[in-house]
Structure 1
Amino acid sequence: MIKKSPISKLILENRTFYVKRDDLIDPYLAGNKYRKLYTLLQTPSDKLNKIISYGGTQSNAMLAIAAMCAEKNWEFIYYTKGISQTQKNEKCGNFFIAKKLGMLHVEVDNEFYKDFIASLRVNLDNKTFIVDQGGAVEEARVGLEVLAEEIRAYDSHIKSLATPSGTGTTALFLALSLPEYKVYTTSCVGDITYLKQQMSALYTIPDNLVFLEPEKKYHFAKPYPEFLHVQKKLLEAGIEFDLLYAPGMWKCLLEQTDEEIMYIHSGGVTGNESMLERYKKKGITSFC
């Protein structure tokens, strides 16, 4: 079943923004991950029996795939590099919930991880599907085209959109699907050069995709006081966003743009509880 999301108005620093509330689609299978997995969600359950993916233990894609597989009754195997005992013992956050949903977690020695991931497609049977890290697959384009049609159907003067990037799949396919819109993004994993390389592996980057460069280098998933400050402002404005991707994107928008913009909510708020624990361990115990 196709699920549509509403649009909310948000006032931030005396500016008007609009938010496409993809976070409200489903508690776990929401945000851009719902869009990226759209094709698989429309796939009849008997066509597949196993999904394989890989990445980090805070991944929103990991949780979304786990939720999808639980719904479809598909086996889900997720590979990561070695993780700490602390991570294994967590009782909240994406990794904990994904395991409760039935995900089989397999650790691979760091030394062999890259080669192991490269070998996953060898001798695959026709009932097994691999979702690359972050959902960066060509199949994701179909779901982003559905999102594009929802945005077009919203009678609005807004012609600028924004969405943060990990692999850049969402921003890329959204820009391709909406050439009449300007689409802002920023790199949350690596720098802009790395992000463009990731995107170019999927498709040629269109001219309407605009890359905003952060004022300084931010390491992915590392706690920063200024990100918590942005999160406080967003919560006060009435909407909760994820702590991994959203603060960096919003910070760039507030500093480098001035028009009315529609932000595509990426979901992922289930990971905020475990992320806030990381802030506390770093001594960042309250909103700035």
Structure 2
Amino acid sequence: MLDITLPSPCERFTPDWKYADDVDIYVKRDDLIHPVISGNKWRKLKYALSELPDGMSRTVSFGGGYSNHLHALGYACQQLAIPFTAIVRGDYSASPTPMLMDLLAWNCELVYVNKLEYRQRETPAYLKQIRMRYPNAVIIPEGGKQPSALKGVGEIIDELTFQPDYILLPVGSGATLAGLIPKLNAAQHAIGIAVLKGENYLETEVESLLTKPHTNWRIEHKFHQGGYAKHSPELVQFCQALFQNHGIATEPVYTGKLFYAAKTLIENCYFQKGAKILLIHTGGLQGARKIKTDETN
């Protein structure tokens, strides 16, 4: 069984950043939902796993070698005794990442594919092949980006006991941002921090998940540090200092970029004085394991 802790805490955050005293900063600690299935990964999977159809024999999903989504889903399936197949971008068979080693320990099946095949993951023809190979399997999109994920993510807003003016969160697939936007009122704004090079592409992905247009959101593209999983020594040091000074664990793939972006925007006086700013810690620390692996190689 899964021991999930909800609602997640929402904590006041008082860093020593320039002009931080001019605004009220809070952190929604979704990283504390569960030690493995943390953050938006559980919220995206919550309804997909609780509403599995009768006769389902397996789940199948997609991700990279350090995918927080695959890691969370693999653990959940192991706990629920559901066979799981992870279709992984790239061949790690000779040297599995720490995340993939976990999946193997949880008896998950790993299928390594090249980048060309991986790009077909959402095409009808490719999905048909998967269904033929795995009859009665439930296929969960990359990052858990299925319609029910938006419902689970939207519950973040339901748990709040105050009304933030701005909500900041990292954006990779766009599903978490798309789940929050419809829950906001006209006076609230969501700001996604892109963690990869995806200007216009990410906006299109979010819009495709919304049932109607909304104008109270935007994506900031200045903090991806060169692309997905790209990072500078400065960002790694920033993450380390954040943990040492505030006890908040982050990594330089997703949440580290979120906090760094928040610091930069606040120091550049992006927000009006007195604004209530909520940072959503989306959990998932596989990126931190990547840094440790890089440092030992």
TM-score, L = length of structure 2: 0.82
Match of 2:292 in 1: 276
Please tell me whether residue 201 in structure 1 is matched to residue 208 in structure 2. yes
Q: 1:7 aligns with which of 4, 7, 10?
A: 10
Per-residue deviation, residues 8-55 of structure 1 (Å, max 9, x unmatched): 222223425211111111111110011111112322685532111112
Please tell me whether residue 187 in structure 1 is matched to residue 203 in structure 2. no
Please tell me whether residue 102 in structure 1 is matched to residue 110 in structure 2. no
Q: 1:174 aligns with which of 163, 172, 180?
A: 180
SS of 1:267's partner is: coil
Match of 2:246 in 1: 237
Q: Distance in 1 between matches of 2:29 and 2:223?
A: 27
Task: Verify the 8 A CA contact 1:214 1:248 in the aligned structure 2.
Answer: no
Q: Distance in 1 between matches of 2:276 and 2:242?
A: 16
**Comparing 21-30 and 233-242, the one that deviates more:** 233-242
Match of 1:165 in 2: 171
Q: Distance in 1 between matches of 2:195 and 2:139?
A: 23
Q: Which structure 1 residue ranges, 5 or more long, are not aligned?
A: 282-288
State the one-letter code of the partner of 2:15: L
Q: Structure 2 vs 1, CA of residues 238 and 46 (structure 1 numbering), >3 Å: closer, same or farther?
A: same
Q: How many residues align?
A: 275
- Report the alpha carbon displacement of residue 87 of structure 1 after superposing the two structures with TM: 3.6
- Report the alpha carbon displacement of residue 238 of structure 1 after superposing the two structures with TM: 2.1
State the one-letter code of the partner of 1:106: V
Match of 1:138 in 2: 147
Q: Distance in 1 between matches of 2:222 and 2:33?
A: 30
- Report the alpha carbon displacement of residue 159 of structure 1 after superposing the two structures with TM: 2.3
TM-score, L = length of structure 1: 0.85
Trace 1:35-54 onto structure 2 (pairs within 5 A): 35-43=43-51, 48-54=56-62
State the one-letter code of the partner of 1:105: L
- Report the alpha carbon displacement of residue 194 of structure 1 after superposing the two structures with TM: 1.5
Per-residue deviation, residues 153-191 of structure 1 (Å, max 9, x unmatched): x1x353221110001110111111223421111211222
Per-residue deviation, residues 85-115 of structure 1 (Å, max 9, x unmatched): 5642x4x3x2222222222100123443334
Q: Distance in 1 between matches of 2:94 and 2:276?
A: 43
Match of 1:261 in 2: 277
Match of 2:32 in 1: 24
- Report the alpha carbon displacement of residue 205 of structure 1 after superposing the two structures with TM: 5.1
Q: Structure 2 vs 1, CA of residues 223 and 150 (structure 1 numbering), >3 Å: closer, same or farther?
A: same
- Report the alpha carbon displacement of residue 128 of structure 1 after superposing the two structures with TM: 1.8
Q: Which structure 2 residue ranges, 5 or more long, are not aligned?
A: none
